[in-house]
């Protein structure tokens, strides 16, 4: 019997956007015993392609009459997956880049041990350039995905209107910014989307917190240090406003250089804050 949903999706590490000289071999280790969601690895390119199969609506706790293309099922499911992941991101968007032709020469290998497991980098000659293959893995807990999916369905973020409460509108905006971040292919855009998501979640109640008051709210919601909250805010401010001093220029340039190491903790903070507010709105805290 044909599955209720069959969708192609593409996986990569969020802090490493698609590049013409890089291949991302990302292994999703799916924790699932009941066959409600199946991920079949298809190919490896600038992103890793998977086929997502879901046997029936009941697998997601939905009524039998709902069709996959209706009710924003796939966008909410993909967003739930991205809320459940820490390093990887998935979407239905291809990179649009041609596959590099690798010259099968000697491939020096380096292994970096991270909390998420080993990351292996292999370099090979591509004409006169260098080609990099990044091998990484992450566990995807299906129970957590389904928990977040149910929250998103209850929020009904796609139906906000002038009659919607301010917290619902603000957290819906935050979710959209988070969604934009995990589908973006530029580190600066990813950073700006993630920080905007965090800012909207911090000000979910309609209070327009700024500066150190905003930092304090972010620290309270996420547990990060005040210095880190201030660092993110100042880099974000430099992306929006003109530079008026050498210090501004230095902060902006250093911020750009540090984006690869900032994205993962910023994503984590945005997730924690969004989920906390989401539970509060739905009366679960």
Between CA 209 and CA 222 the distance in angstroms is 16
Question: What pLDDT is recorded for position 104?
Answer: 46
Question: What pLDDT is recorded for position 265?
Answer: 96
List the domain boundaries for the chain.
1-155, 162-285
pLDDT value at 47 more than 80: yes
H-assigned helices in the chain: 73-84, 142-155, 166-183, 187-202, 211-222, 226-240, 246-281
Question: What pLDDT is recorded for position 102?
Answer: 47
Between CA 243 and CA 246 the distance in angstroms is 8
Between CA 28 and CA 39 the distance in angstroms is 8
Question: What pLDDT is recorded for position 157?
Answer: 93
Report the percent of the chain where pLDDT is more than 70.
86
- Range with the lowest mean pLDDT among 9-23, 37-51, 103-117, 175-189? 103-117
pLDDT value at 30 more than 70: yes
User: What does the pLDDT average to over 250-274?
Assistant: 93
For residues 87 and 5, is the Cβ–Cβ distance under 8 A? no
Question: What pLDDT is recorded for position 115?
Answer: 63
**DSSP assignment string, 31-62:** E-SS-SSEEEEEEEBSSEEEEEEE--GGGGT-
For residues 166 and 277, is the Cβ–Cβ distance under 8 A? no
pLDDT value at 101 more than 90: no
**Residue, of 221 and 65, whose pLDDT is higher:** 221
Between CA 203 and CA 170 the distance in angstroms is 8
Average pLDDT, the chain: 88
The predicted-structure confidence for 134-156, as pLDDT tens digits, reads as follows 889 999 999 999 999 999 999 99
User: Minimal CA–CA distance to 152: which of 77, 91, 70, 66?
Assistant: 77
pLDDT value at 72 more than 80: yes
Report the percent of the chain where pLDDT is more than 90.
62
């Amino acid at each position: 019997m044909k599955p209720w949903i069959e969708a192609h999706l593409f996986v990569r590490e969020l802090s490493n956007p698609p590049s013409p000289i890089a291949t991302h071999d990302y292994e999703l280790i799916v924790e699932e015993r009941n066959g409600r969601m199946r991920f079949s690895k298809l190919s490896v390119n600038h992103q890793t392609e998977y086929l997502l199969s879901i046997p029936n609506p009941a697998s997601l706790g939905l009524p039998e009459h709902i069709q996959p293309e209706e009710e924003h099922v796939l966008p909410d499911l993909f967003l739930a997956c991205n809320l459940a992941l820490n390093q990887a991101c998935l979407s239905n968007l291809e990179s649009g880049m041609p596959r590099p032709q690798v010259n099968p020469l000697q491939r020096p290998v380096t292994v970096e041990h991270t909390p998420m497991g080993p990351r292996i980098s292999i370099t090979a000659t591509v004409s006169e350039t260098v080609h990099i293959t990044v091998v990484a893995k992450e566990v995807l807990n299906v129970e957590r995905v389904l928990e977040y999916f149910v929250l998103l369905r209850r929020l009904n973020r796609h139906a906000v209107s002038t009659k919607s409460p301010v917290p619902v509108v603000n957290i819906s905006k935050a979710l959209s910014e988070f969604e934009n971040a995990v589908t973006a292919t530029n580190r600066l855009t990813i950073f700006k989307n993630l920080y905007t998501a965090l800012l909207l979640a911090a000000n979910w109640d309609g209070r327009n917190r700024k500066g150190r008051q905003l930092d304090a709210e972010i620290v309270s919601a996420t547990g990060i240090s005040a210095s880190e909250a201030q660092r993110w805010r100042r880099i974000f401010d430099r992306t929006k406003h003109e530079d008026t001093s050498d210090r501004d220029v230095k902060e902006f340039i250093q911020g750009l250089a540090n984006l690869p190491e900032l994205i993962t903790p910023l994503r984590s903070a945005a997730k924690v804050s969004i989920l906390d507010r989401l539970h509060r709105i739905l009366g679960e805290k």
